[in-house]
Amino acid sequence: MTDSTIPTARLGDTGPEVGVQGLGCMGMSFAYGPSDAKESRAALDRALELGVTLYDTADAYGAGANEEFLAPFFKAHRDEVVIATKFALSIPAGDPTRRVVRNDAPYIRQAVEASLKRLDVDVIDLYYMHRRDQAVPIEETVGVMAELVREGKVKHLGLSEVTAGELRAAQGVHPIAAVQSEWSLFSRDIEDRVVPAARELGVALVPYSPLGRGFLTGAFADADKDLTADDFRRSQPRFTGENAAANAALLEPVRAVARAHDATPAQIALAWVQQQAVVHGLPVIAIPGTRKAGRVEENVRATAVELSAQELALLEPIAGKVAGDRYADMTLTSAGRD
Ligand SMILES: NC(=O)c1ccc[n+]([C@@H]2O[C@H](COP(=O)([O-])OP(=O)(O)OC[C@H]3O[C@@H](n4cnc5c(N)ncnc54)[C@H](OP(=O)(O)O)[C@@H]3O)[C@@H](O)[C@H]2O)c1
């Protein structure tokens, strides 16, 4: 494709302007089977060339490995990239396989220092609370995050998988630039309350897993059969067995719309998410994850695809028919608490 850059959108009323599509970097170090570092680096470079400026990581992705992997790329392009990372999924001493959700002040302070060090930067552009620890009032957590802004360690604040009520309470303490939650043709629970609250409060939505973790692209049809033994998606109820077979059949309208646009199902899934900005009246900056430069190009091209009202109507019923939850344990999601 030509190297024309993509449109931009603002990360909420208080955040920076970014390319309307970001890049999810998690899979480069974690969750989706083996990665090739050279290939991932090429994907990062290509994304930047095409106008992708928001790069998403977290301390939990590979227990710090993802932040460390990205550090040289960020260093080489510090003024061109917006770095988003997250805290909250702590690793208990002596048990590297477990994660404990922590939102308390001592933990946040330790986490931000560790992320700054691994990323090798002076300041994090967008710092998210990754998951909600209900033992700590959200006002207290955001109060600590606001201190990090005042101290110059962090520029903007974000929250992941929060309810509308939690978002409102947080916004009362400090402006929130973005809410990051799962949002795709398969996962639309946030449209009931979280999206309207974000619109009202001037907060951007950053949809994660906009490709349904790859399932919407048709790249795999049954996680147990098609993915490696350590792939996280084998633990997700909608991607295995009878659920996966039923859900694969739901992709037919996505394929039909793709054919009409001479596009791929991935591009239609991303165009649908991006168009939710118009449907709901708020900034939407999706962060599809890929480790391949060719897929970066394919995904970025989706920013130019516009779906008609008729096509949106054809895609509308899909989410309501999906079999199986988006996590085996939904208690850490906003929908699980709402
Ligand atoms: N806040 C949270 O709790 C949370 C949770 C999950 C994810 N995230 C963030 O959101 C980002 C994106 O979510 P995600 O990675 O879970 O899911 P996703 O973006 O929906 O899908 C990623 C999967 O799709 C594949 N893929 C990407 N483009 C493709 C294309 N054009 N054709 C075929 N397959 C394609 C990728 O494989 P390849 O890499 O091999 O291309 C990968 O397996 C993550 O990287 C992470 O930064 C946040």
pLDDT at 31 over 80: yes
Q: Cβ contacts of residue 103 below 8 Å, gap of 6+?
A: 88, 129, 132, 133, 135, 136, 138, 140, 141
pTM: 0.97
The answer as to whether 118 is a domain residue is: yes
Are 69 and 28 in contact by the 8 Å Cβ rule? The answer is yes
- State residue 96's pLDDT score: 77
201 falls within a domain: yes
Known catalytic membership, residue 61: yes
Q: How many Å apart are CA 311 and CA 272, to the nearest integer?
A: 9
Residues forming beta bridges with residue 24, ordered by sequence position: 56, 289
Pairwise CA distance, residues 118 & 81, whole Å: 16
The CB of 211 under 6 Å from ligand 1? The reply is yes
Instruction: Report how far ligand 1's centroid is from the alpha carbon of 31 (Å).
Output: 10
Give me the pLDDT at residue 1, please.
44
What is the radius of gyration, based on Cα positions, of the chain? Answer: 19
Q: How far apart are the first and last CA of the chain?
A: 43
Classify strands 8-10 and 124-129 as parallel, antiparallel or unpaired: unpaired
Q: Is 212's C-beta closer than 6 angstroms to any atom of ligand 1? A: yes
- Candidate of 1, 132, 185, 213 to mutate for ligand 1, largest count of ligand atoms within 8 Å of Cβ: 213
pLDDT in tens, 188-229: 999 999 999 999 999 999 999 999 999 999 999 999 999 999
Q: How far is ligand 1, taken at its centre, from the CA of residue 294, in Å?
A: 14
Per the structure, the count of domains in the chain is 1
Looking at the predicted structure, is the pLDDT value of residue 315 above 80?
Answer: yes
- Domain assignment of residue 333, yes or no: yes
**33 alpha carbon to ligand 1 midpoint, in Å?**
12
pLDDT at 317 over 50: yes
Cβ of 175 less than 6 Å from ligand 1 = no
DSSP state letters, 219-281: S-S-HHHHS-TT-GGGGSGGGSHHHHHHHHHTTHHHHHHHHHHT--HHHHHHHHHHHHHHHHT
- Find the mean pLDDT for residues 269-294: 98
Residue 287 Cβ inside 6 Å of ligand 1? The answer reads yes
Of all protein residues, whose CA lies closest to atom 47 belonging to ligand 1? 24
- Ligand 1 touching residue 288 (CB < 6 A): yes
The average confidence (pLDDT) of the chain is 96
Question: In this structure, is residue 254 part of a structural domain?
Answer: yes
pLDDT tens column, 38-64: 999 999 999 999 999 999 999 999 999
What is the arithmetic mean of pLDDT over 287-316?
Answer: 98
SS3 content of the chain, % helix, strand, coil (to 5): 45, 15, 40
Whose Cα sits closest to atom 37 in ligand 1?
290
pLDDT value at residue 54:
98
293: phi > 0 → left, psi -120 to 50 → alpha, else beta; which?
A: alpha
* Nearest protein CA to atom 14 of ligand 1, as residue: 209
- Assess if residue 252 is contained within a domain: yes
Split at pLDDT 50, 70, 90, the class of 4 is low
Percent of the chain with pLDDT over 70: 99
Question: Residue 138 belongs to what domain range?
Answer: 8-337
- Catalytic-labelled residue, pool 61, 107, 127, 208: 61
The arithmetic mean of pLDDT across residues 328-336, rounded, is 92
Distance 9 CA to ligand 1 centre (A): 21
Residue 3 covered by a domain: no
Q: What are the tokens at 202? A: 């001037």
Residue 335 Cα to ligand 1 middle (Å): 21
Burial zone of 206 (CB within 10 Å; 0-12 exposed, 13-18 middle, 19+ buried): buried
CATH number, domain of 71, equals 3.20.20.100
Confidence of residue 94 (pLDDT cuts 50, 70, 90): confident
Q: Would residue 119 count as lying in a domain?
A: yes
**CA 215 to ligand 1: nearest atom:** 24
> Taking Cα atoms as reference points, which of 129, 105, 131, 116 lies closest to residue 64?
116
pLDDT value of residue 3: 58
Other Cβ atoms closer than 10 A to 120? 14
Decide whether any atom of ligand 1 lies within 6 Å of the 11 Cβ.
no
Q: Is residue 2 part of a domain?
A: no
At 95 the pLDDT is: 85
